[in-house]
Structure 1
Amino acid sequence: MAEEIQSWPLNPSRLNHRSDEENPVFNNIRKERSNKCFVYVFTAIVLQSIFILVFALVVLRPKSPSVKLRSVTVKSLRYTTSPLPSLNATLVAEISIKNPNFGSFKFENSAVSFLYEGKQINGKKTVKGNVSARETKRFNVSVEVRSSRLSEKQNLVNDLNSGIVKLSSLARIVGKVHLIKILKTKKTKEMNCTMSINLKNRTIKDLLCN
């Protein structure tokens, strides 16, 4: 007797059906993974920015530059005691600026003044420039000194007759330290000096700064 062979209908394989509509669980998993990935990347960026900022403020803490008046040279000199006392001179000051920071120091609208008995005797003189990181740079500043800017000249007569005219100078350097291209910190440095002009040999002596 022939054996009866029973056939069974094949069920469609569920592994072949991967649509999002039929598999909402997979769709939700993808969304959760995508959201977590965005959160991780955003958190990493924020932490990196905080680390850079803290590193710049603590480790690379901006410092004020060091300013020195290295020398003053008398380029030209004219003076007289009669009929009215007068002193006209061109002074060339050599100033050095040391930048101790790991970023450049850019300064502008900085001023150099010369004074006689506390009164400014030169016109407004501004200087600007840039000092690279960990560098010392020298600048020459030419200043015109005129006693005509003084209202009281009695003491000037005595100084001219003695051959020694005492002056003081003030340099105020204002600029910004640039760190990692995003952090800019304003720094100001002042320097006060005293000196004497020897009228006979046209030289500067007793130059002292603090």
Structure 2
Amino acid sequence: MADQESQSWPLAPARVHRRSDDENPAFKALRKERTNKCFVYIFAGIVFLCAILLIFALIVFRSKSPDVRLRSVAVKSLRYSKSPSPSLNATLVAVVTIRNPNFGPYVFGNNNSASFLYGGAKLGEHKIGGGEARWKGTERMSITMEVRSSRLPEGSNNLSGDLNSGFVNLSSYCRFTGKVHLLKIFKNRKTAQMNCNMTLVLRTKTIKDLRCD
């Protein structure tokens, strides 16, 4: 009896458990498919982000030249003479606007000017001080200018005939040079200019037919 109790029985061989992914090849395919999808989603996200940044750069960082307009011209004073020597002296008040279409302020310095001309020659010029047109905003300024026919070259105009007709054709020119400031980092130089034509009516001391390019 003791011999039977002391008899050793052989141990059963240990069962080898294979890894679950070895047991199921479909798991490998599923994990690979999920990994590929993850890369596709990441790549699509990067492409989408790049597209958004490109659109943002084209809209925000692409600066445009401001739009300068001569809104009105009023005659503050007028003196003229037909004989013995034709002459014209007037004080004109012009209202000029600068519309800034950019997503940053347009800052211009003191090197800008506006002028009135007759027959291509300057009757008067006014220096414009520095200023700023806010982003997506419009800056409005009033310019008072003295115009005098004595500044015209002799014998190069038909002022006598215009004074006799009662209508004097004038033109104006204005130029602004400044910089568009974007995010306080980028500064793009932009120039804006304006050309206008008008008619001075001597009898009523008014400006009519104001046309600008």
| Structure-1-length-normalised TM-score | 0.71
CA shift, 1:124, in A, is 4.7
Task: Please tell me the residue identity of whatever aligns with 2:151.
Answer: R
Contact 1:56 1:179 in 2 (8 A): no
State the partner residue of 2:182: 179
State the partner residue of 1:156: 159
Q: 1:95-114 residue pairs with structure 2 within 5 A?
A: 95-108=96-109, 109-114=111-116
Task: Please tell me the residue identity of whatever aligns with 2:192.
Answer: K
Q: 1:27-106 residue pairs with structure 2 within 5 A?
A: 56=57, 59-106=60-107
In 2: Cα distance, 1:132 partner to 1:103 partner: 7
1:188 aligned to 2:176? Answer: no
Task: Please tell me the residue identity of whatever aligns with 1:131.
Answer: A
In 2: Cα distance, 1:53 partner to 1:187 partner: 22
Contact 1:197 1:204 in 2 (8 A): yes
CA shift, 1:126, in A, is 2.9
State the partner residue of 1:138: 140
Structure 1 spans left out of the alignment, 5+ residues: 1-50
1:198 aligned to 2:204? Answer: no
In 2: Cα distance, 1:125 partner to 1:57 partner: 35
Question: For the structure 1 residues 198 and 72, does the alpha-carbon distance in structure 2 shift closer, same or farther, using more than 3 Å as the test?
Answer: same
For residue 130 of structure 2, give the secondary structure of its aligned residue in structure 1: strand
State the partner residue of 1:15: none
Contact 2:126 2:145 in 1 (8 A): no
CA shift, 1:136, in A, is 1.2
Contact 2:94 2:144 in 1 (8 A): yes
Contact 1:95 1:140 in 2 (8 A): yes
In 2: Cα distance, 1:149 partner to 1:66 partner: 30
Question: For the structure 1 residues 92 and 137, does the alpha-carbon distance in structure 2 shift closer, same or farther, using more than 3 Å as the test?
Answer: same
In 1: Cα distance, 2:126 partner to 2:183 partner: 34
Q: Deviations over 1:32-54 (max 9, x none)?
A: xxxxxxxxxxxxxxxxxxx9999
In 2: Cα distance, 1:67 partner to 1:104 partner: 15
| Structure-2-length-normalised TM-score | 0.70
In 1: Cα distance, 2:117 partner to 2:54 partner: 43
Task: Please tell me the residue identity of whatever aligns with 1:129.
Answer: G
Contact 1:125 1:143 in 2 (8 A): no
Structure 2 spans left out of the alignment, 5+ residues: 1-51
Count of residue pairs brought into register by the alignment:
160
Contact 2:90 2:147 in 1 (8 A): yes
- Larger deviation, residues 123-132 vs 168-177: 123-132
In 1: Cα distance, 2:69 partner to 2:127 partner: 17
In 1: Cα distance, 2:151 partner to 2:128 partner: 18
Question: For the structure 1 residues 133 and 182, does the alpha-carbon distance in structure 2 shift closer, same or farther, using more than 3 Å as the test?
Answer: same
For residue 117 of structure 2, give the secondary structure of its aligned residue in structure 1: strand
Q: Taking every aligned residue pair, what percent have the same amino acid on both sides?
A: 56
